[in-house]
Copies of this chain bind each other. A is one copy, B any other.
Amino acid sequence: MKLSTKGRYGVKAMFDLAQHFGEGPIALKGIAERQGISEHYLEQLMAVLRKAGLVKSIRGAQGGYILAREPENITVGEIIRVLEGPLAPTECVSEEDPEMCKNAPTCITRTIWQKMRESLAEVVDSITLADMVRDAEKLKGQENLMYYI
């Protein structure tokens, strides 16, 4: 049940874009450096995110990437699904057009995969990039507080 680097890097990169939202296009190089990701590899992931309509790109000098929507309107679930495919632990419980085997209607294990998918979806679909930015700010505030105690 591991997440591959695609999903991990993708969420990190999108979080980085959310933190710099409103500052114009953010260059891939900076994102890769701040998040500790191979630049060329991240480029491929950004292409996927762009084709999925989650980010916009501006080419040429001073170009970069911008979130296609406000951070409030992009969930972690969307990002992961775009980069890793459906959240479902098996094909037979995919959100859309699941490939069910012939005994799916009476398959008991299937009900378990379904519950796993639903539980996971509830978590990732409820977290937006704005939430992450807010949490990061909060954490930063707590750090400063520590110096005064």
Number of copies of this kind of chain in the complex = 2
Q: A15 contacts which chain B residues (CB < 8 A)?
A: 108-109
**A89 at the B interface (CB under 8 A):** yes
- In the bound complex, residues from chain B placing their C-beta under 8 Å from that of A112 are 11, 76, 123-124, 127, 132
Encoded as 1 (CB less than 8 Å from any B CB) or 0, chain A from 78 to 121 comes to 00100011011110000000000000001011011101100110
A19: nearest chain-B partner, CB-CB: B108
A51 on the B face (CB < 8 A): no
Residues 49-91 of A at the B interface (beta carbon under 8 Å): 76, 80, 84-85, 87-90
Flag if A8 contacts B120 (CB, 8 Å): no
Q: Do A1 and B135 have beta carbons less than 8 Å apart?
A: no
**Contact of B1 with A120 in the complex, beta carbons under 8 Å:** yes
Contacts of A33 in B (CB 8 A): none
12 extra A-B contacts, CB within 8 A, seeds A3-B113, A11-B112: A1-B7, A1-B88, A2-B89, A2-B90, A3-B90, A106-B139, A108-B136, A111-B135, A112-B132, A115-B123, A116-B124, A119-B123
